[in-house]
Amino acid sequence: MINLTAKQICAVVNGELFASSSFQDFTVSEVITDSRTFFGGQNVAFFALTGPVFNGHNYIAQLRKKGVQLFIISDKNFIDDKANYILVKDTGLALQQLATYNRNQFSQPVIGITGSNGKTIVKEWLYDLLSAELKIVRSPKSYNSQVGVPLSALLLDAQYELALLEAGISEPGEMQKLAPIVQPNIGILSNIGDAHQENFQSKKEKLNEKLQLFVDAKKLVFCLDRPYSKPIAKFCLGNNIEPINWSFENDEATIQFKSKAAANHTKIEAKTRNKSYSFQIPFTDESALENACHCFATIVALEKIPDVFLERFSKLEPIAMRLEIKQGINNCLLINDYYNSDLNSLGIALSVLKQQAAQSHLHKHVILSDIHQTGIETAELYSKVNQLLQEWGINKLTGIGEALYKHQYIFQMESEFYSDRNEFEKHFIRSNYSSSAILLKGARQFAFEQISALLQQKAHQTVLEINLNALIHNLNSFRKLLRPETKIMVMVKAFSYGNGDVEIARLLQHQNVDYLAVAVADEGVQLRNAGITIPIVVMNPEHDSFQNIIDFNLEPNIYSTQLLHQFAKVVAEFGLCNFPIHVKIDTGMNRLGLKTEKEIDELISFVKSNKHLKIQSVFSHLAGSDDPELDDFTHEQFTRFAHLSKQIETAFDYKVDKHILNSAGIERFTDHQMDMVRLGIGLYGISQTGLQLQQISTLKTTVSQVKTVNAGETVGYNRKGKTRQQSRVAVVPMGYADGINRRLGNGLGSAFVNGQEARMIGNICMDMLMLDVTNLKVSPGDKVEIFGPDISISKLAQLLETIPYEILTGISQRVKRVYLQE
C-alpha cells in the first residue's frame, strides 16, 4: 500500500505543489480515480483523469466535501485555496509514474500475466494454490487496464512475499506503458485470441505488443502447442529469458502433459526434469485444462516442489468473474461476490452496494467472511474493515468465521457473528431480511453460494443474464463516435428492450447519461420509485398520465397541437412555469409528430404566449437509417428536419436541443449528431455497421431430464418430432411462455449444450422444449444456452425472419434477470 507524503508524491510525478494556506504535509495511504465509488475517508489523493468522454476535474468540488485533501490535476484553472493540488501535464502519466515508483520499492518476486483469455482465472487459481505458503498481493478483480494496473501496483508493500499482477491491452502502444509498472520476474502468457483484435492489424502484431511486458523478465511460462509459440521462443532467446514452456504434443517442452477427461473431472499427468506428477482438476473443459497447466508450470518456474500442491488442484473452484446482482427475498437486493475476500476487493464491492442501496432507498447489510492472507495483524485488519464499513455507511454487519467472531468487539455498528456458515444457517430467520441491499462477500472456502440460496428470490432455473460491463463497453463505443458535448438519451422503454429497466437505468445514471426515455408514464414512475433522478422523457404520453408526469417530474413528448393544448391546461392548473416538453416533428416516418409548417407555427405561437411550458428539445425519427438503399430518403429527412427545427430554434431566446439520430444513425451519419442522440438497440449489442459491440444478454437454463427415444417414436405435441434412429432427447424447462418463438421447433432452432449446438425437436410447449442430443454428452443439470456468446441474437432473428428487438422484448418477465458486473 502506498505510504508517501503529499510532497513526496509531488516529487515522484514531477509536479508543482499548490498548497492551501492551512497546509501541513500528510501521508497518503489511498489513491482514487473514480469519484462515484468514493464516499469518504482520510489521507486520500485523487487523480483527476481525463478522456474523450470524461473529465475528473469536474468532480473536485464534490470530493472536497467528502474529505479529499489532495488532488493531482492537469488543469490549473481548478486550483484554489480550498484544498491542495499537484499540477502535472498528464494525470494518467502521473498515476503510472507513482505506480512505477512504488513497484521499484518492492523487492519480492512479481508474476506478470497477460493474454487474451484466462488471465484472471490463472491469477486467482495461483492465489488459491500458493497462498497457504506465501503472503500474496494480487490485482483486485480484473484490474488490468491502463488505470487498473497502476492501482494494483500501488497495493504492493514489504509485508507481501509475492505479487500477482494482470496486464491487459486493447490498442497498440499500451503495453509499453504498463511494462515498467509491472516489471515481472516471471511472466505468464495465457494465450492469443480474438479479444480486442479490431485494433490490431494481425495476431502477430498483438502478440508482439503483449510480449513487451516480459522484456526484462527472467522466466516466461507459455504453451508450446500454439501456432505462435515459435515467435515466443525467439523472443525468449533474444532477451535472455528462460522459457518454461509446456505441451501435450512436444517431448522437447520443459513440461509434458497428458490428460484424460472423466464425467466431472480431468486427470492430468505432468513430466518435468525427469520426474512425473499426477493430479486432477474438477473441470472437463479445455480452457480450464489450459489454465491449470499454466498454474502448474508457474509453480515449476517458482522452483517450488510440485508434490506439495498436487492435492490443491483437485479443490480449485470456478471463479465468479463478476458481481451478481439479483432479486432477493422480502424486497431485498442481493449482491453476490464470491470472487475473493481482501480489503481491496471489499472496497470495490462496497461501492456497488452503496450505489444500489442509495438508488432504491434500501438498508445496507454486509455478510462477510474471515479475510485471510493479508499480512496484517488480525486486530489491525478488522479495525480497518470496521473503518471501511463505517465510511461506506453500512447499517448492519453479519460476520462469519472464527476470526471475526473473536474480534466482534471491534465493530461499531449493528452486527451479529457466527463461528462458521453452518452456525449462521442454523439461526437463519427469513423474516429478518427485508428491504435491504445485501452484499455477500466471502472467501471461496466459506461457500457463500449456500447463503445466497437462502436469500435468493426463488424462480425457475431459466435466467436472462445481463452483462453490465458489456453494456458499459457498448455505451463507450458509441460515445467515441460523438463529440464530448453531444448529449445522450438512452431508450429504456419496453423493460429496457427486455433486459430489465431499473437495473439498466441505475447503471446508466451512474455512467452520467443525460436522459432516459420510456414509452409510457408508468415506466417512468417505476424508475422514479427506484431512485432514478436524471431526466426521463415519456415518448407516448396519454391524457390520463398527465398527473403522474407532473407528480414524478417526467417530461412528455408533444407530438400534436391537440396534445400540446391538453397538457398545457393541466400544467396551468398546477400553477407550474417552464415545464419542460420535447417536440416531435414527423419528417417522413408518418407516425407521431408535427408534420406541417402550419402546425409548427401554431406550436411556436402557443408556447411563446404560455409561461407554463418550455421547449427542452425538438426531434425526429429516421425511418431507414440502417438500410443503405434508403440513404437518399434519410438525407431528405435530415433536410426536412433542419428546416422545421430551425423555425423553432430561432423563435425562442433560450437553447433548444435538436436530435434525430438513433443507434444506426449514430453509426452511419455521425455528422448529424446535432445536440443529442438517442441510443437504443445499439446499447444492447446490436450493430448495423460492424461496430465492435458486445452482446449483453445470455438466455440460459438447465437440462431437466435426458431420455432415450426409439426409432419411429415421436416427441412433443401433435407428434411432429419423429425420430429416424434411436435418439437421446434432453427436456429443457423453457417454452413459449418464456418468450421462445414456437417457429424454432421441429429442427429450425437450436441451443448450445456442452460445447455444441443441439437442434430443437418437436413442437415447443408452453413451459418446455426438447433437444436432440443423440451425439452429445448431456446430463440433467447441464447448462443450456438459447442465445448468448455462442448463439447470437442476430442469428436467431435471421432464422425467424424478424429483428433482434422482437427477440429481446419477447422474453417473458417471469424469466429471472441476473445482472453481472465486474
User: Which of 63, 115, 132 lies closest to 228, judged by CA?
Assistant: 115
**Can you say whether the dihedral through the CA atoms of 500, 502, 506, 512 is positive or negative?**
positive
354, 396, 493, 584: the catalytic one is: 493
Angle between helical axes of 597-608 and 631-649 (0-180°, round to 10): 30
User: Which of 551, 626, 625, 549 lies closest to 582, judged by CA?
Assistant: 549
Residues 820, 822: Cα–Cα separation, whole Å? 7
Grid cell digits, residue 210: 503483449
Residue type, position 324, single letter: E
Q: How far apart are the first and last CA of the chain?
A: 22
What CA–CA distances, in Å, run from 414 to 233, 292, 364, 386? Answer: 58, 42, 11, 12
- Do the bridges between strand 219-223 and strand 242-247 make them parallel or antiparallel, or are there none, so unpaired? parallel
Is the Cβ–Cβ distance between 734 and 462 less than 8 Å? yes
Which residue's C-alpha cell is 492472507? 373
Residues 186, 299: Cα–Cα separation, whole Å? 11
Is the Cβ–Cβ distance between 226 and 192 less than 8 Å? yes
- Name, in order, each residue with C-beta under 8 angstroms of 59's C-beta and a sequence gap of 6 or more: 35, 48
User: Which of 147, 140, 138 lies closest to 168, judged by CA?
Assistant: 147
- Do the bridges between strand 756-759 and strand 721-722 make them parallel or antiparallel, or are there none, so unpaired? unpaired
Q: Please check if 766 is assigned to a binding site.
A: yes
Kindly report the number of other CB atoms within 10 A of residue 578's CB atom: 13
230, 267, 480, 717: the catalytic one is: 717
**Residue 717 is a catalytic residue:** yes
Q: Which helix (H) or strand (E) holds 692?
A: none
Kindly report the number of other CB atoms within 10 A of residue 16's CB atom: 12
Phi, psi of 707 (to 5 degrees): -135, 160
Which residue's C-alpha cell is 433536410? 639
Instruction: Report the Cα 37 to chain-centroid distance in Å.
Output: 15
Is the Cβ–Cβ distance between 347 and 439 less than 8 Å? no
User: Which of 373, 322, 376 lies closest to 349, judged by CA?
Assistant: 322
The backbone region for 526, taken as left when phi is positive above 0, alpha when psi lies in -120 to 50, beta otherwise, is alpha
- Name, in order, each residue with C-beta under 8 angstroms of 240's C-beta and a sequence gap of 6 or more: none
Kindly report the number of other CB atoms within 10 A of residue 548's CB atom: 18
User: Which of 705, 738, 736 lies closest to 464, judged by CA?
Assistant: 738
Residue type, position 175, single letter: M
Is the Cβ–Cβ distance between 463 and 700 less than 8 Å? yes
Radius of gyration of the chain (CA): 29
Phi, psi of 700 (to 5 degrees): -140, 160
Question: How many CA within 13 A on the CB side of residue 605?
Answer: 7
SS3 at position 84:
strand
Is the Cβ–Cβ distance between 414 and 397 less than 8 Å? yes
Residues 305, 313: Cα–Cα separation, whole Å? 14
- Name, in order, each residue with C-beta under 8 angstroms of 366's C-beta and a sequence gap of 6 or more: 350, 353, 389, 394, 396, 397, 398, 438, 439, 441
Q: How many residues does the chain have?
A: 822
Q: Please check if 539 is assigned to a binding site.
A: no
**Can you say whether the dihedral through the CA atoms of 629, 634, 635, 637 is positive or negative?**
positive
**Residue 127 is a catalytic residue:** no
Is the Cβ–Cβ distance between 704 and 729 less than 8 Å? no
Active site residues: 493, 717
Please state the residue numbers annotated as binding site for substrate. Answer: 591, 766
Please state the residue numbers annotated as binding site. Answer: 591, 766
